[in-house]
Amino acid sequence: MTREQAIRKARAVVGPRAILEVRSFVSSPDKRAEAKAEADRHEAERDCLRAEIDRRMREAGIYELQARSRKAHEARADALHRAGWLAGYRFHINRATSSIGSEVLGYGDTWEEAIAMAEARITTDTEERAAAHRARVEARKAAR
């Protein structure tokens, strides 16, 4: 089949957006068969290892522990949902971090609680930043 015949046939099958590729690197059928056989050997080895891992996890009781952990996580989420924890506070104080995001600084059932939490958070953040700055200044002085 010539190139033109191949193009016509491909466009008849695929449509006008058909793309034909001619690659410069090709392998022989023998090399592909050899690579496939090697890949099959590695796949068999991997399957044996996975079976061994599965057997050991079953013997050690890992699957049961994972199931118990999942149940505990679901029970916790259910309890928080029932308590209204996820969106249960009426007052929130946020700080805009960008044009599309914000950081929650404080929340509570009253404005006083929310403001107190925000003040504590800001004070702690400020103190930590000041301590980090002092440490950097001391390190620079010591390096001189």
- Is 70 exceeded by the pLDDT of residue 109? yes
Mean pLDDT, rounded, of the chain: 87
Cβ burial of 136 (10 Å; 0-12, 13-18, 19+) is exposed
Confidence of residue 50 (pLDDT cuts 50, 70, 90): very high
Choose the most confident range, by mean pLDDT, from 15-19, 24-28, 47-51, 103-107. 47-51
Q: Are 106 and 92 in contact (CB under 8 A)?
A: yes
Q: pLDDT tier at 17 (50, 70, 90 boundaries)?
A: confident
Q: What is the value of pTM for the model shown? A: 0.42
Asked whether the CA dihedral 26, 29, 31, 33 is positive or negative, the reply is positive
